[in-house]
Amino acid sequence: KRLAWKILRRGVDKMTLIQAILLGIIQGVTEFLPVSSSGHLVLFQKIFGVAEPSLTFGIVVHLGTLAAVFAVFWKDIVSILRKPFQRLTLLLIAGTIPTGIIGVVFKDFFENIFASGKTLGFEFFITGLILFFADNLNRGYKKVEETSMLDAAFVGLMQGAAIMPAISRSGLTISGALFRDMDRDFAARFSFLLSIPAILGAAVFDMKDVLEAGVENLDSVSLGAGFIRSEE
């Protein structure tokens, strides 16, 4: 046990392959649960003593999970590509705009929070509290046609707030959809479809940090391992 712990703690200067695999598994397991995958990544990176910026590695493993989202919702994605101006597309755009604005305006603020990890306990508590209230709501009725652009924008605002490391993105977006009387099945579907532009946008916006991390703190093998394990 001591030897295993020493191996995990070797990430003070550089993330090891074992750490990358473990963090990828953590991302893959927690992404589809309303428990904040980013928060758990930050938490375990602190436990492992990994000095690599949490936000950067988080983007990489989120891309791995994004591949799983594509695999599960490929029918919806194909439908959007074939009919790009359908109502679902407009709802996704309306939900993405608030998230994008929040991410760009408060990028430095969120990165500092990711780096410190001091607010994790409070954010986990807030996530649980919001889930509790959302779960006790009456069942909603709104599906694609009944959902308004304002409803979608509200869910996008919730997703923007979930950039905080231990605030669950899926938890807040699904809860936000339920607060707007959206059908539970459609709320979950809309939540994960909304994650696609958010993750892709964050990856593009943070590409400079990702490349720097690959050169200085994280070798390509570790990056690949984290990516692959996060989508399983």
The pLDDT value given to residue 95: 95
Size (the chain), residues:
232
CA distances from 82 to 79, 108, 170 (A): 5, 37, 26
The model's confidence at residue 40, banded by pLDDT at 50, 70 and 90, is low
CA distance 27 to 43: 12
pLDDT tens-digit readout, 146-203: 999 999 999 999 999 888 877 888 889 999 999 999 999 999 999 999 989 888 887 7
User: How many CA atoms lie less than 13 Å away from 159 in the CB half-sphere?
Assistant: 33
pLDDT tens-digit readout, 108-131: 777 777 666 677 777 888 888 988
The pLDDT value given to residue 87: 95
24 pLDDT higher than 50:
yes
Inter-residue contact 18 to 187 (CB < 8 Å): no
The pLDDT value given to residue 112: 75
The pLDDT value given to residue 135: 84
Q: Minimal CA–CA distance to 210: which of 36, 64, 68, 54?
A: 54
Inter-residue contact 152 to 95 (CB < 8 Å): yes
Q: Which residue has the tokens 């030897």?
A: 3
pLDDT, mean of residues 19-37: 65
CA angle 184, 185, 187 (to 5 degrees): 60
The pLDDT value given to residue 11: 42
Q: What percent of the chain has pLDDT over 70?
A: 59
Q: Terminal CA-to-CA distance of the chain, rounded, Å?
A: 26
The pLDDT value given to residue 106: 82
Q: Minimal CA–CA distance to 58: which of 134, 119, 113, 121?
A: 113
What are the structure tokens assigned to 8, written together? 């995990």
What pTM, to 2 d.p., does this model score? 0.71
The model's confidence at residue 62, banded by pLDDT at 50, 70 and 90, is low
Residue, of 208 and 141, whose pLDDT is higher: 141
56 pLDDT higher than 90:
no
Residue, of 20 and 222, whose pLDDT is higher: 20
